[in-house]
Amino acid sequence: MTQDSPDSAPAAEAELELGIRGMTCAACVRRIERALLRLPGVRQASVNLALERATLRYDPSRVDEAAIRRAIRELGYEPVPRASQSSADEEDEAARAARRRVLWAVGLAVPLVLLAMGPMLPGGEALFARLAPMWLWQALQAALSSLILFACGAPLLRAGWSELRHGAPAMNALVLLGAGAAWGYSLLAWLAPGIFPPGSAHLYFESAGVIVALILLGRMLEARARGRASRAISRLLRLQPRTARVLREDGSVWELPVEELRPGDRVQVRPGERLPADGIVREGAGWVDESMLTGEPLPVEKRPGDRVVGGSVLTSGGFAMEVTEVGRETLLARIIALVERAQAEKPPIQAFADRVAGVFVPLVLAVAALTFALWLAFGPEPRLSYAFVTAVSVLLIACPCAMGLATPVALMVATGRGAECGILVRRGAALERLAAIDTVVFDKTGTLTAGRPALVEACWNAPGEARQWLLRVAALEKASEHPIAGALLAAVGEVPLPPAEEVEPVAGGGIRGRVEGLRLAVGSRRFLEKEVGTRAPDAALASWAEAQAGEGRTLVWVAADGVPVGVLAFADPLKPTSAAAVAELHALGLRVALLSGDLRRSVEAVARALAIEEVRAEVRPEEKAEALRQWQAQGRRLAFVGDGINDAPALAQADVGIAMGTGTDVAIETGDVVLMRGDPAAVPQAVRLARATRRTIAWNFVWAYGYNVVLIPLAAGIFHPWTGWLLDPMLAAAAMSLSSLFVVTHSLRLRRAI
CATH code for the domain of 544: 3.40.1110.10
In a domain, 608, yes or no: yes
In a domain, 367, yes or no: yes
| Residues 624 and 703 reside in one and the same domain | no
Residue 538 has pLDDT above 90, yes or no: no
Q: What is the pLDDT of residue 508?
A: 65
In a domain, 663, yes or no: no
Q: What is the pLDDT of residue 8?
A: 45
* Per-residue pLDDT band at 678 (split at 50, 70, 90): confident
In a domain, 670, yes or no: no
213 contact partners, CB below 8 Å, separation of at least 6: 102, 105, 106, 108, 109, 148, 152
551 contact partners, CB below 8 Å, separation of at least 6: 571, 601, 605
Residue 272 has pLDDT above 70, yes or no: yes
Examine residue 382 and say whether the peptide bond preceding it is cis (omega within 30 degrees of 0).
yes
DSSP of 477-537: HTT--SHHHHHHHHHH-S-----EEEEEEETTTEEEEEETTEEEEEE-HHHIIIII-PPPP
Do 476 and 518 touch, CB atoms closer than 8 A?
no
Whether 443 is a known active-site residue: answer: yes
Mean pLDDT of 404-415: 83
| Residues 545 and 637 reside in one and the same domain | no
> In this structure, how many other beta carbons lie within 10 angstroms of the beta carbon of residue 495?
8
Q: Please give the angle made by the CA atoms of 133, 138 and 140, to the nearest 5 degrees.
A: 100
Q: What is the pLDDT of residue 532?
A: 63
Instruction: Tell me the C-alpha distance between 723 and 653, whole Å.
Output: 60
Last residue of a domain, one of 332, 350, 380: 332
690 contact partners, CB below 8 Å, separation of at least 6: 414, 430, 431, 432, 434, 435
Q: What is the pLDDT of residue 528?
A: 82
| Residues 590 and 444 reside in one and the same domain | yes
pLDDT digits (tens, 9 = 90+) for 122-168: 776 777 777 878 788 889 999 999 999 999 999 888 888 888 887 77
In a domain, 57, yes or no: yes
In a domain, 707, yes or no: yes
CATH code for the domain of 28: 3.30.70.100
Do 390 and 372 touch, CB atoms closer than 8 A?
yes
| Residues 256 and 270 reside in one and the same domain | yes
Q: Which is more confidently placed, 618 or 664?
A: 618
Last residue of a domain, one of 529, 549, 571: 571
| Residues 442 and 591 reside in one and the same domain | yes
CA 17 to chain centroid, in Å, comes to 18
Last residue of a domain, one of 571, 586, 615: 571
| Residues 136 and 236 reside in one and the same domain | yes
| Residues 112 and 76 reside in one and the same domain | no
In a domain, 135, yes or no: yes
- Predicted TM-score (pTM) of this structure: 0.74
| Residues 691 and 737 reside in one and the same domain | yes
| Residues 108 and 215 reside in one and the same domain | yes
pLDDT digits (tens, 9 = 90+) for 593-616: 999 888 788 888 899 999 998 999
Domain containing 285 equals 243-332
| Residues 642 and 687 reside in one and the same domain | no
CA 478 to chain centroid, in Å, comes to 46
| Residues 131 and 147 reside in one and the same domain | yes
What is the total count of domains within the chain? 6
* Per-residue pLDDT band at 666 (split at 50, 70, 90): very low
In a domain, 58, yes or no: yes
Residues in the chain: 754
pLDDT digits (tens, 9 = 90+) for 194-208: 776 676 677 888 888
Q: Which of 59, 278, 443, 647 is catalytic?
A: 443
| Residues 119 and 231 reside in one and the same domain | yes
Q: What is the pLDDT of residue 654?
A: 92
